[in-house]
Amino acid sequence: MPYELPSLPYDYNALEPTIDEQTMRIHHGKHHQAYVDNLNKAIEGTEFDGHPIEALLGALLDTVPEDKQAAVRNNGGGHANHSLFWQIMKPGGGGEPSGDLAAAINDLWGDADKLKTAMNDNGVKRFGSGWTWLVWDGTGLALYSTANQDSPLMQDDVPLLGIDVWEHAYYLNYQNRRPDYLSAWWSVVNWDEVGKRFDEARAK
Ligand code: MN
């Protein structure tokens, strides 16, 4: 079963003005589609075909033959990262986390604003392309950034919230102003989805 591009859970223009329609169209329809296509091309006809993406990027990645490993890492990571990214945004998002997630954030950082500042700081400092993450590391919440399309799944963490800091995610609207994009991004965050992922990760 080849991997498939998931449809967006909202219209391409639904995240405006924070993220413009053209950026969303290219990002989802061209960039994410290319990760899916190139991942399928890399593993077509191999034993790695048909595994859930979490397994492919987790336990299985080290067993992928060397000549295919970079393609699986980059395109599989791109597929997993973007599939999450579309879900953890929503029109009319923003606000504050609630429930157990809010309690866990407050325990570690004091409040959600400090978490946002720390995540944005990791995103600004990520040189070149990558992602800034909030993850469940098996025992608690943690923050870090990754390069390229590397996924927290590759180090056995569960990604809860990731912000894409590749230029393709923001350049049409924000040009070189990555910090402005990161500040604005929180007005489309879908905290309910992040909280759901937190509850599922802890229950494992
Ligand atoms: Mn992207």
How many angstroms separate the alpha carbon of residue 22 from the centre of ligand 1? 13
Alpha helices (H) in 58-190, listed in sequence order: 66-71, 77-87, 99-109, 112-125, 171-174, 178-185
Residues with CB under 5 A from ligand 1 (ion): 164, 166, 169
**For residues 138 and 144, what is the distance between their CA atoms, to the nearest angstrom?**
15
How many angstroms separate the alpha carbon of residue 27 from the centre of ligand 1? 6
**In the chain, where are the structural domains located?**
21-87, 99-203
How many angstroms separate the alpha carbon of residue 107 from the centre of ligand 1? 31
How many angstroms separate the alpha carbon of residue 110 from the centre of ligand 1? 30
**C-alpha distance from residue 178 to each of 59, 154, 157, 160, 196 (Å):** 33, 26, 26, 21, 28
Q: CATH second-level architecture of 21-87?
A: Orthogonal Bundle (1.10)
How many angstroms separate the alpha carbon of residue 115 from the centre of ligand 1? 22
How many angstroms separate the alpha carbon of residue 49 from the centre of ligand 1? 23
Domains 21-87 and 99-203 share a fold: no
Which pair of structure tokens corresponds to residue 18? 């924070």
- Taking only the tens place, the pLDDT of each residue in 106-148 is 999 999 999 999 999 999 999 999 999 999 999 999 999 999 9
How many angstroms separate the alpha carbon of residue 164 from the centre of ligand 1? 6
pTM of the model: 0.97
- Taking only the tens place, the pLDDT of each residue in 70-117 is 999 999 999 999 999 999 999 999 999 999 999 999 999 999 999 999
Residues 6+ apart with CB under 8 A from 46: 68
Kindly report the CATH class assigned to 99-203. Answer: alpha beta
Query: Does 165 score more than 80 pLDDT?
Result: yes
Average pLDDT over residues 147-157: 97
| 3-33 as b/e: b if 16+ CB within 10 A | bebeebebebebbeebbbeebbeebbeebbe
How many angstroms separate the alpha carbon of residue 81 from the centre of ligand 1? 8
How many angstroms separate the alpha carbon of residue 45 from the centre of ligand 1? 27
How many angstroms separate the alpha carbon of residue 63 from the centre of ligand 1? 26
**C-alpha distance from residue 135 to each of 114, 122, 128, 194, 195 (Å):** 16, 13, 21, 10, 12
How many angstroms separate the alpha carbon of residue 169 from the centre of ligand 1? 5
